[in-house]
Amino acid sequence: MQWLIYLIIFSGLLACNPEKVSTQTDKDGVITRLPHVWKSSISEGPRSFGLHRGYIIDNRGILAVGMRKSAESSAKGEQYLLFKDLETGENIWKWDEFQFKTIGTLRQSINLYPGTMLLHDASTTYHINTMTGKTIWKSRNPEISLRPYPAFLKDKYYVPGVSIESQRRKRREPTIFACDVATGAVKELMMPKLKDEHAYVDPDSIYYRGSMLNIEACSRDGIDYLVVPFTEPGPKDLFNDTRGYFGLYNITDKRWVYERIAIRPDHGGASSSLKPLVHGDKVYLTSLTTVGCFELMTGKEVWRRNLSEMFTGFNDFILVGDKLLLNGDNATLYCVDANTGLPMWTQKASVLTSDLYHQDGIIYYIYTKFLLAVDLQTGKLLWDMPSPDIRLEGRDDSWFTGFVTGTPAKDGKKGRIFASTNYNVYCFEAEQ
């Protein structure tokens, strides 16, 4: 019996004093291993995935996706949300109400409010109390094919979808819906100004006019606006038979300020823009490997630049001061001058990536299966770390995957970085 007591005490000491890990660097001084502040499990067996954007809520905890085996042998696994304490990694609450036991959204589909969050997972939306982890309401609208990426503004969120009337007429044409955060009520708002010059009937006998993925909302001088990128069929071209445009819609007065500004020059094809970045009197949009800066209220081009001749695109972009960072699907992270579009530096990147995260002059992101940190000013690589699960748990199948986020340095306290692997969330001290 006495040996059992000693064993319990010894195990407790190990839990309080995890294995000491020394910082390691490669021949170029790039950090390849760091000691962690804490690690916390997100897997009950299967490899976890989901949430490419990190969310820190109420300065209390961080949101993560948990994974367990499914009762059905053919299923990949069941997912749920975990809210983990920022200081310890311990679970504060668990939320397990996904409609199909899986999360479809990976990025930009969650918005935080005081004490609550709204999670829009395509056809199903959930409003959750972040203090208790309890559902306030949930709403399902599968009949209007809502897209996964809303634009949030005040007490509303706006989502592209396909109206019932368009479906009745067998037409593929996007409609924007306005939704109420307090109740989940949904109503049609408007459609973009599509042209039918190159519209066609697809193999399913649907008349295809265009599509929409990402939109953004903003307010100026007491008036609410939507920046509305969309694509529509175009003539035969180099990469695809698509054209990309954007417009600015005045929500308050229910009118278009402008309707059809080309994001990419009318040759070479197009793709859906990432969610527009609105900053002051400018807006930034993308199409394939073109990024453009435009005057928000007029649509006038400030600059536009094609960063690659490859038929590819971007999976995320962020604005940090006078620098625009774009993560390319061609395995390149670009930094360009936000005022001119002139390239400043590049660094390695990947299609298999998290969203970009900036903190205290450092850009953090996941590159295929490694956690990277890059100096914002120079593009110098500072971190290039594999998943610690490989060494700590003997899991050779573990990658860094999902999100990177953090808390900045404050009042002499070091900043922290939180990143997920297939099995755990890790907390590290941030690059100093």
Is pLDDT of 72 > 80?
Answer: no
Instruction: Report the amino acid identity of residue 166.
Output: S
Contact criterion met (CB below 8 Å) for 171 and 206: yes
Residue-level pLDDT at 19: 55
Predicted confidence band of residue 255 (pLDDT cuts 50, 70, 90): very high
Is pLDDT of 4 > 60?
Answer: no
Query: Angle CA(246)–CA(248)–CA(251) in degrees, nearest 5?
Result: 140
Parallel, antiparallel or unpaired: strands 31-33 and 343-348:
unpaired
State percent of the chain over pLDDT 90. 81
Note the pLDDT tens digit of each residue in 278-287.
Answer: 999 999 999 9
Is pLDDT of 115 > 50?
Answer: yes
Contact criterion met (CB below 8 Å) for 268 and 277: no
The lowest-confidence range among 250-254, 296-300, 320-324, 346-350 is 346-350
Residue-level pLDDT at 40: 98
Over the chain, what is the mean pLDDT? 92
CA dist., res. 430 & res. 415, Å (int): 5
Contact criterion met (CB below 8 Å) for 147 and 163: no
Residue-level pLDDT at 71: 80
- Which range is most confident: 17-26, 102-111, 199-208? 199-208
Residue-level pLDDT at 51: 79
- Name residue 32's beta-bridge partners: none
Q: DSSP class of residue 142?
A: G
Find the mean pLDDT for residues 377-399: 96
Is pLDDT of 5 > 60?
Answer: no
Note the pLDDT tens digit of each residue in 400-432.
Answer: 999 999 999 999 899 999 999 999 999 999 997
Helix (H, G, I), strand (E, B), or coil: what is residue 4? helix
Residue-level pLDDT at 266: 67
CA dist., res. 388 & res. 22, Å (int): 12
Is pLDDT of 18 > 90?
Answer: no
Note the pLDDT tens digit of each residue in 155-169.
Answer: 999 999 999 999 999
The lowest-confidence range among 196-205, 214-223, 279-288, 344-353 is 344-353
Note the pLDDT tens digit of each residue in 261-271.
Answer: 999 876 778 99
**Whole-number CA gyration radius for the chain:** 23
Predicted confidence band of residue 16 (pLDDT cuts 50, 70, 90): very low
Predicted confidence band of residue 1 (pLDDT cuts 50, 70, 90): very low
Residue-level pLDDT at 352: 76
Predicted confidence band of residue 143 (pLDDT cuts 50, 70, 90): very high
The gap from C-alpha 277 to its chain's centroid, in whole angstroms, comes to: 13
Q: DSSP class of residue 413?
A: B
Closest CA to 403 of 69, 42, 72: 42
Q: Which domains does the chain have, with CATH numbers?
A: 108-306 (2.130.10.10)
Find the mean pLDDT for residues 365-387: 96
State percent of the chain over pLDDT 70. 94
User: Order of strands across the sheet with 223-233?
Assistant: 216-220, 223-233, 242-250, 255-262
User: Order of strands across the sheet with 186-190?
Assistant: 151-153, 156-161, 175-180, 186-190
Predicted confidence band of residue 12 (pLDDT cuts 50, 70, 90): very low
Look at the block and give the residue holding tokens 């360009």.
Answer: 336
Find the mean pLDDT for residues 211-219: 97
